[in-house]
Amino acid sequence: MTRTLTLLTVGAALVLPLAASAQTPADVAYCKKLGLMWYTYFNTDPSTAVATALNNCSSASAASIPVLEKALKDEGFTLPKRKM
DSSP the chain: -HHHHHHHHHHHHHHHHHHHT---HHHHHHHHHHHHHHHHH--SPPPHHHHHHHHTTTT-HHHHHHHHHHHHHHTTPPPPP---
- What pLDDT does residue 28 have? 96
- What pLDDT does residue 9 have? 44
- What pLDDT does residue 2 have? 60
Domain boundaries, the chain: 24-84
Please say if the pLDDT value at position 78 is more than 50. yes
Please say if the pLDDT value at position 38 is more than 50. yes
Rounded to an integer, the average pLDDT of 66-74 is 97
- 44-67 pLDDT, tens digit per residue, is 899 999 999 999 999 999 999 999
